[in-house]
Amino acid sequence: MRVLPVGEDALLVEVSSGDEAQALHAELLRLRAQGSLRVGEIVPAARTVLLDGLSDPARLAAELTARPLPPVPPSAPGTVEIPVRYDGPDLADVAAHWGVPAREVARIHAGTGFRVAFCGFAPGFGYLTGLPPRYDVPRRPTPRTAVPAGSVALAGPYTGVYPRSSPGGWQLIGTTDLVLWDPARVPAALLSPGTRVRFVPVAATEPAA
């Protein structure tokens, strides 16, 4: 673990894997919940957790480096199920990368238990991990100028669902009608770091729910 100072009142804690980052994030949330960590923002990412709005970052840095990294936490209660029509325009390309027939992509993807590693890019956009490394895929060589809201997509080790239409370079494998982000709802984001996720295939011919 490496603890890097960020400006005057933040720390970036760097670990060696995504699993470690998720474990560290869960531990920091636990410390905050029990009142022993006062912090403005806890922002997990691929290999780091950012702690912003600290009153004494130097002291916390010393405490964190002295503390052994906690084990990977038990799963958070509940799983968000995302119904998906596996009808994305990049399904064939993904199947080719994976070396499987196109219909196998849906079976493999829907058979995987995912976890939200972190959020970013847009409000409510989660970077989901869970697929084995052999299913990593590159981004599209040319990003699309508009990816429709609800697109289920892959890039690198991650699966994501576009909460709204935006430009994007991820490989589109399917579509969901689930609203992932609604600022008028509590909670606004269905996916937050640590959330367990499963994709449930629905027939492409079914009308939208």
Partner 1 sequence: MTDRALAVVRAGALTTVQDRGRPGHAHLGVPRSGALDGPAAALANRLAGNPPDAAVLETTLDGCALRPRSTAVMAVTGAPCPVTVDGRPAAWGAPVRVRAGSVLDVGAAAPGVRAYVAVSGGIAVEPVLGSRSTDLLSGLGPAPLTDGAVLPLGAVRGLPARVDVAPQPAPPDELVLRVTPGPRDDWFTPEAVRVLTSRAYRVSPASNRIGLRTTGPALERARPDELPSEGMVLGAVQVPPDGRPVVFLADHPTTGGYPVIAVVRPADLPAAAQAAPGTPVRFVAVRRR
Task: Point out which residues bind partner 1 (CB under 8 A).
Answer: 4-8, 10, 12, 40-50, 52-53, 118-125, 127, 164, 183, 188-189, 192-193
Helix then strand then coil, % of the chain, to nearest 5 = 20, 30, 45
Nearer to partner 1, 4 or 204 (CB): 4
The single residue listed with the structure tokens 């933040």 is 10
CB of 46 to partner 1, least distance (A): 3
CB of 54 to partner 1, least distance (A): 11
Nearer to partner 1, 106 or 193 (CB): 193
H-type helices in 73-157, by residue range?
Answer: 91-98, 102-110
- The three-class DSSP label of residue 89 is coil
CB of 21 to partner 1, least distance (A): 9
Burial degree of 169 (CB within 10 A; 0-12, 13-18, 19+): middle
The single residue listed with the structure tokens 């609604």 is 182
Nearer to partner 1, 123 or 143 (CB): 123
CB of 138 to partner 1, least distance (A): 12
| CA distance linking residue 90 with residue 74, whole number of Å | 34
> Longest Cα pair distance anywhere in the chain, in angstroms?
58
CB of 42 to partner 1, least distance (A): 6
Nearer to partner 1, 4 or 72 (CB): 4
Nearer to partner 1, 130 or 193 (CB): 193
- The three-class DSSP label of residue 98 is helix
